[in-house]
Amino acid sequence: MKLVILDRDGVINFDSDQFIKSPDEWKPIPASLEAIASLNQAGFKVVVVSNQSGIGRGLFDMAMLNTIHARMHKQLALAGGRIEAVFFCPHPADSDCECRKPKAGLFRDIAQRFHVDLAGVPAIGDAWRDLEAARSVGARPILVKTGKGQATLEQGLPDDVLVFDDLAKAAAWLIENKN
CATH code for position 161: 3.40.50.1000
Residue 179 clears pLDDT 60, i.e. is over it: no
Q: How many domains does the chain have?
A: 1
Distance CA 162, CA 159 (A): 8
Catalytic residue ranges: 7, 9
**163 bridge partner residues:** 143
Distance CA 78, CA 74 (A): 6
The confidence band for 158, taking pLDDT boundaries of 50, 70 and 90, is confident
What is the domain extent for residue 159? Answer: 2-176
The confidence band for 171, taking pLDDT boundaries of 50, 70 and 90, is very high
Under 8 Å between Cβ of 19 and 59? yes
40-82 pLDDT tens trace: 999 999 999 999 999 999 999 999 999 999 999 999 999 999 9
